[in-house]
Amino acid sequence: MSHYLSTKPIPLRERLIMALDLPSIDEAKSLVEELGDSVCFYKVGLELFMAGDYFGLIDWLKARGNKVFVDLKFFDVPETVARAVRALSGKGVEFATVHGNDAIMRSAAQEKGPLKILAVTVLTSLDRGDLDDLGFACDVEKLVVSRARRALALGCDGVISSGLEAPMLRNEVDDKLLVISPGIRPVENRTVDDQKRVVTVEQAFRNGADYIVVGRPIRDAQQRKEAAERVQSQIAATFGERA
């Protein structure tokens, strides 16, 4: 069933976002060069932010023709977040993540310029027990939908959300909302890691994701470019069946 398959005009090969979760800028560049044209969209997060020339890496990626997603999950007083987003909006990146309440999301949206702001709903490393510990009495799904609705109303462009919750988002939130799904495992997850709410590539898109974020399954593969191309083939096959 492909009821929720994205119809947004996104080039197929851009629907895969590779997470550059590596300890150094040099290792990140080496991986990008190894992957070559198998990946054209990269997520750069907190680990690389602490590793050195973060914005130099972003400029290097852009010079190669890659798109960039800045995943720093801005969370601070609203004015500080607004200033951070304003500074980032001129850097030529596609997406940035914001984590927080309505005032934080509103401030980010007001300063985004050409940048698309993605609100974090519920981290894919959290499950029901974790939410209980944090004091959230509602279901994961209800929390995700509530945060997504508010994010869109406040001017954000999309959300980071597990593919497990994507169908509910498509049912209950305006389709213009971008849904970016991390926690992707190309086959059913059989290993122990810190992602608890995971889906396969095909499941994520059939559930309504516009983009997927893949990290370890490519980064830790013996043949990393081949692993990336397998994901691209799975994406192409999934969308090729839409007609």
The catalytic site residues sit at 73
By CB atoms closer than 10 A (0-12, 13-18, 19+), residue 5 is middle
Q: Using alpha carbons, select from 234, 224, 201 the residue that is nearest to residue 35.
A: 224
Three-state SS string over 116-174 comes to EEEEECCCCCCCHHHHHHHCCCCCHHHHHHHHHHHHHHCCCCEEECCCCCHHHHHHHCC
Q: In whole angstroms, how far apart are CA 229 and each of 8, 16, 50, 90, 201?
A: 22, 10, 29, 32, 13
Contacts for 27 with CB less than 8 Å, ≥ 6 apart: none
